[in-house]
Chains A and B, each alone.
Chain A
Amino acid sequence: MSKVSIKILIYILSTAFLIASVPHSVFAHKLSVFAWIDGDTVVVEGKLSGGKRPKRGMVYVYDGKERLLLKIEINPDGIARFPLPDHKTGLKILMDVGEGHKSYWILTPYDIKCQLKEATEKE
């Protein structure tokens, strides 16, 4: 191998190493959150732009008056589940996966009523 080839190889390898060492979150620009009722459980799902699921993060559940009701860790599939709390004023469900990537979903009392009704009708 010539000296020039070795230099090119070193250059390519170091560039590849640099790209690989950049944290994954730099490429993940946007977090989308969606929540729904499954029986008596609230399911929260997070997705990063590109379709990947966040592996770590927290979910904060607030009532309609912005009072924190509970916080829970997401599982490695980017999902969190918790029992449906008091929902008279609705729920604001915030997911924080770190490095500024936060998003939320709102379940209004109307959403919850409709989803519970739908589930009952299916049964």
Chain B
Amino acid sequence: MSAAKGLPGKVVWSLIWAAIFLCALTFLTVSNSLASEPLTVYVVSYPLKYFAERIGGEHVKVLFPAPRGIDPAFWIPDIQTISAYQQADLILLNGAAYSKWVDKVSLPRSKVVNTSRKFKDQYITIEGAVTHSHGSEGEHAHEGVAFTTWLDFDLAAKQAKAIAKALTRKKPDLRETLQKNYKALERDLVLIDKTIKTIVSKHPSKQLIGSHPVYDYFARRYGLNMKSVHWEPDEIPSNEQWAELQTILKGFPAKWMIWEGNPIKEPVAKLKSIGINSLVFDPCGNVPDHGDFLSVMWKNVENLKPVFR
């Protein structure tokens, strides 16, 4: 203070103002750099990852830690991964009883967004659930609520809208960009929706067999006449499974089976021998081997065309 005592008052005040200015500048720089940092978003399915990345672009870092090749609906993350979910900026859930592990942990409420909450009243309840197992996920049951909501592309657009809203809440200064990106995604989803409607409208009563009970929302939206069995594309169906199919076919003579993934040769050949063709309509719950959500869905649409010709 003795040095300051020797300085004229004007100089002291200039120094104080300079210090305040520097502090304010530092604060603004830090806040700006924080605001421009991408949001860390954890998701529970690939469609949500695709939607969040399309909408958020460079402003989001979307993480989907489920291993490839498994059905994320039945995946249970390890504790370390759950910790990572808890510390994200945003956690996007599919809702409709997808990823049941979320009911076994505490996820911060302020970060969680159930993207299907707005259309909760449109959830489909599954009756007569069957427990079965496949792959490394172990035994599971398709019971309670059907979860493949995004195969109704109108609902998919609603889920995308929920994501856009959540991202905007976190990054209000990016409202315009996020809205523009969401609108572009919505246009893509609406186009798929309209195309499927047009295809199906040619023969809406065509009977179809779903190889797995994952097409409930898809069938409802597009008015498909479908019954499902519980077959896996990479497994040879058991005698009981064939008998179940034969029973269905007695009152429901379908000529097409829709598979979730490319089926192995044996069941395809056997189905062909009884007059049933096979096609793939991949729900794309996990990251695809090739392309992205949109390209997989357009491939699905192409695969669907021969059925309704």
Contact = CB atoms under 8 A, between A and B. Distances in A.
A105 interface: yes
What does DSSP make chain B's interface, helix, strand, loop or mixed? helix
A109 interface: yes
Contact of B83 (A33, A103, A109): A109
A108 B104 contact: no
Contacts of B86: 108, 110-111
Contacts of B83: 90, 108-110
A92 B106 CA distance: 13
Contacts of B104: 33, 103-106
Interface in A66-94: 89-92
Interface residues of A, number: 14
A64 B105 contact: no
B79 A109 contact: yes
Interface string A26-67: 000000010000000000000000000000000000001000
Nearest to B101: A106
B80 A111 contact: no
A106 B78 CA distance: 10
Interface residues on B, range: 10 to 19
B85 to A, nearest CB: 9
A43 B43 CA distance: 30
B102 to A, nearest CB: 11
Contacts of B106: 111
B105 A106 contact: yes
Nearest to B81: A108
A102 to B, nearest CB: 12
Nearest to B86: A110
B82 A106 contact: yes
B273 to A, nearest CB: 40
B79 A89 contact: yes
A105 B79 contact: no
B87 interface: yes
A78 B92 CA distance: 33
A119 B181 CA distance: 43
B80 to A, nearest CB: 7
Interface in B205-257: none
A92 B104 CA distance: 10
Interface string B95-123: 00000010011100000000000000000
Interface in B39-90: 78-80, 82-83, 86-87
Interface of B: 78-80, 82-83, 86-87, 101, 104-106
| Nearest 4 CB-CB pairings of A with B | A90-B79, A64-B79, A108-B83, A110-B83
Interface of A: 33, 64, 89-92, 103-106, 108-111
16 contacts: A64-B78, A64-B79, A89-B79, A90-B80, A90-B82, A91-B79, A92-B79, A105-B105, A106-B79, A106-B82, A108-B79, A108-B86, A109-B79, A109-B83, A110-B87, A111-B106
Given A103-B104, A105-B104, A108-B105, 5 more contacts: A64-B78, A64-B79, A90-B79, A105-B105, A110-B83
